[in-house]
Amino acid sequence: MTVSDASLTRLIRIDHISAVYAATRAAREVAAEVGLPEVLAERAAVIASELASNLDKHASDGAVFVQRSLAWPGVDVYAVDHGPGMADLDHWRVDGNTTTETLGTGLGAIGRLATEFRITSAAGTGTVAAARVLAPGPKPADLAHVRLPREGEERCGDAVAFSTMPGVRTAALVDGLGHGPEASDAAEAAIAVFRRDPDRPLPEQLNAMHRTLRQTRGAAVALARISEGSLEFCGVGNISGLVLAQGHTQPLLSIPGVVGFTLPSVRVRAVALTGHELVILHTDGIDGYWRGPAALGPLPPIALLTADLAHRHRDLRDDAALIAFGPEVP
């Protein structure tokens, strides 16, 4: 069994050439934090530099997100912009196809250096790219996340944790009331409870968090567990949940309350899964406007969806956290 919680996501807005160096430095620092070998740390730095450089040269409203991977030692690098996008993405993904006049510089090299690399682009809309450099070992769980503090603050009142064991995957998402240090204290206290015993029944988990959080300002909490072809969900407070499948969505509704202050009777909601769904949990720092017709199309790669929501649907006045995962793939 492995249990991991998310450190803060680093956001670098690419509005000047100096931001390229900031993104490169952030990738090296995160790689050092997780203990990646030097050769892998340098790969992460090169990837961050290439993606940030493309944004600086060609894109508008570009940003790079750098963070520690969840559930396995590694570095995630997301790059998102609002255009102009690439009309012939496949051409620019071929190693060696580069130009200083159009997007695509270094994409082939990124695909070669990264453990995982996903990218989507549309002319006139923009590009979303997600690269991951992981330590050697078995294929980790397929999931993605972000954890971002309110603009201008260093601590985040939203927190994320994930537990995986054979056949069972459990996610915890916590939103401490308000923002700032006290909200962060509440969220981190809830995650500490989860880490101690992540496999206990979900109602017991919420009750244990409720007892611990009585000494804090309280929090909204959502728990989701996939096992044996089904999803169990429990949520209290203002956290959004959704099962996303091609052609339809299914909301996961939390009940009113505040963990640590007022905890109603908790019930588990069970949802049957076919093995091709995504489960998405996010705090109110991510708006719900993305749940429109676009959500009913083909399922996007988890990392691309996460990066897109973090950039296009984030409320800068609040903390924001999101986790997305699906059934275990044999």
Which residues have a Cβ under 8 Å from the Cβ of 329 and sit 6 or more positions away?
142
Q: Which among 318, 309, 7 is positioned nearest to 161, based on CA atoms?
A: 7
pTM score? 0.92
Inter-CA distances, 116 with 45, 57, 63, 196, 302, Å: 15, 24, 19, 31, 12
Task: Identify each DSSP E strand in 69-165 by its residue range.
Answer: 74-80, 116-122, 126-134, 143-148, 158-165
DSSP class of 85: -
User: Residue 290's pLDDT is what?
Assistant: 79
User: So where are the chain's domains?
Assistant: 8-134, 143-325
Kindly state the tokens that stand for 243.
Answer: 């099962």
Put the strands of the sheet holding 126-134 in their side by side order: 10-14, 62-68, 74-80, 126-134, 116-122
H or E element at residue 194: helix 181-196
Report the amino acid identity of residue 244.
L
User: Residue 108's pLDDT is what?
Assistant: 83
Distance CA 322, CA 330 (A): 25
Q: Which among 309, 265, 301 is positioned nearest to 283, based on CA atoms?
A: 309
Distance CA 112, CA 198 (A): 36
Kindly state the tokens that stand for 44.
Answer: 């992460």
What are the backbone angles phi and psi of residue 88, rounded to the nearest 5°? -125, 70
Inter-CA distances, 11 with 17, 33, 80, 151, 305, Å: 15, 17, 11, 10, 17
Which residues have a Cβ under 8 Å from the Cβ of 253 and sit 6 or more positions away?
235, 241, 269
At the second CATH level, the architecture of 143-325 is 4-Layer Sandwich (3.60)
User: Residue 329's pLDDT is what?
Assistant: 56
In the chain (330 residues long), the average pLDDT of successive 10-residue segments reads: 92 96 98 97 96 90 96 95 69 50 62 93 87 90 93 96 93 96 98 97 98 98 95 97 88 96 94 92 92 63 94 95 82
Task: Identify each DSSP E strand in 123-268 by its residue range.
Answer: 126-134, 143-148, 158-165, 168-176, 219-227, 230-236, 239-245, 248-252
Residue 171 near residue 281, CB atoms below 8 Å: yes
Fold type of domain 8-134? Heat Shock Protein 90 (3.30.565)
User: Residue 104's pLDDT is what?
Assistant: 40
Distance CA 164, CA 218 (A): 26
Cα distance from N-terminal residue to C-terminal residue, the chain: 16
Q: Which among 29, 148, 136, 134 is positioned nearest to 80, based on CA atoms?
A: 148
Distance CA 191, CA 153 (A): 20
What are the backbone angles phi and psi of residue 296, rounded to the nearest 5°? -95, 0
DSSP class of 222: E
Distance CA 166, CA 328 (A): 9
Q: Which among 276, 268, 283 is positioned nearest to 248, based on CA atoms?
A: 276
User: Residue 87's pLDDT is what?
Assistant: 58
Strand partners, 129: 79, 119
